[in-house]
Amino acid sequence: MDNGDWGNRLTRPVTLNVGGHLYTTSISTLQRYPDSMLGAMFRGDFPTTRDSQGNYFIDRDGTLFRYILNFLRTSELTLPVDFTELDLLRKEADFYQIEPLIQWLNDPKPLYPLDTFEQVVELSSTRKLSKYSNPVAVIITQLTITTKVHSLLEGISNSFTKWNKHMMDTRDCQVSFTFGPCDHHQEVSLRVHLMDYITKQGFTIRNTRVHHMSERVNENTVEHHWTFCRLAYKVED
């Protein structure tokens, strides 16, 4: 994977063809619940099929997938007042194995108080490691924080200024740190401090995942991902 793709991997648009209906979203949304079928599919643990345009194809009800996707985006299920296909939606939720949605459909009540919503922070670490150095040498690494909580991004940008020399890039929904070569402890130090900063803002880890790749004879690539969540109160306009 090219260096420029690392920071955009989770938020890069991806198009799904679900029963003839096209939906565009991000990898991070589809992996919101890692134990779901979609989480496994876009983690590479589940076989995928493409249509003639190169879009991921899923042979399911394309109309109802609208509600599946919106639940992945918000962790809330909003249905029209005159919605009459609850049984079919239950079958779709069961197919995609989205446990919180299955629970809601079986016992329809709000997952959270009506005046709150869930804020999400994604932390990803992509490291290329030398196979033969001792201690472990990091050839290059990128740490990326992705969230819509702009106050958190601003706080990280202001609190981690000493890492500017390692190319800190701040965007609307991301702060990325790219640096290397360096020793293993330097990368771990920044990651630990970032995780500590995020948890001190009231976020807790929802899930973690690790992916190992061996692209070249002399190096390994290791990807770590952490999802942090916290409840926040809605603000009236």
- Per-residue pLDDT of 73-108, as tens digits, reads 888 888 876 788 989 999 999 999 999 999 888 875
Domain match, 101 and 120 both: no
**Residue-range definition of the domain harbouring residue 136:** 116-233
What is the tens place of the pLDDT at every residue in 27-47? 888 988 888 999 888 887 777
Residue 182 in any domain: the answer is: yes
Domains held by the chain: number = 2
Do 219 and 132 share a structural domain? yes
One domain for residues 228 and 123: yes
What's the CA gap between 9 and 213, in Å, rounded?
A: 15
Q: Please provide the DSSP assignment of 13-51 as one string.
A: EEEEEETTEEEEEEHHHHTSSTTSHHHHHTTTSS---B-
Are 213 and 136 in a shared domain? yes
Say yes or no: 13 and 99 in one domain: yes
Report which of 158, 213, 232, 157 is spatially closest to residue 9, judged by C-alpha positions. Answer: 213
In a domain, 111, yes or no: no
- Position 18 in a domain: yes
Query: Tell me, what's the pLDDT at 17?
Result: 95
Q: Residue 76 belongs to a domain with what CATH number?
A: 3.30.710.10
At which of 86, 106, 126 does a domain end? 106
**Is 228 found in the same domain as 140?**
yes
Cβ–Cβ < 8 Å for 30, 10: no
The amino acid at residue 77 is: L
What is the average pLDDT value for the chain, to the nearest integer? 82
pLDDT band, very low/low/confident/very high, at 19 (cuts 50, 70, 90): very high
The pTM assigned to this predicted structure is 0.50
Are 72 and 159 in the same domain? no
**211-236 tens-digit pLDDT:** 877 666 667 888 888 889 888 877 65
The 10s digit of each residue's pLDDT in 1-16 is 444 453 455 567 889 9
The last residue of a domain, from among 106, 125, 155: 106
- The residue count for the chain: 237
**Cβ-contact 59, 51 below 8 angstroms:** no
Within-domain flag for 206: yes
Question: Which position has the higher pLDDT, 61 or 139?
Answer: 61
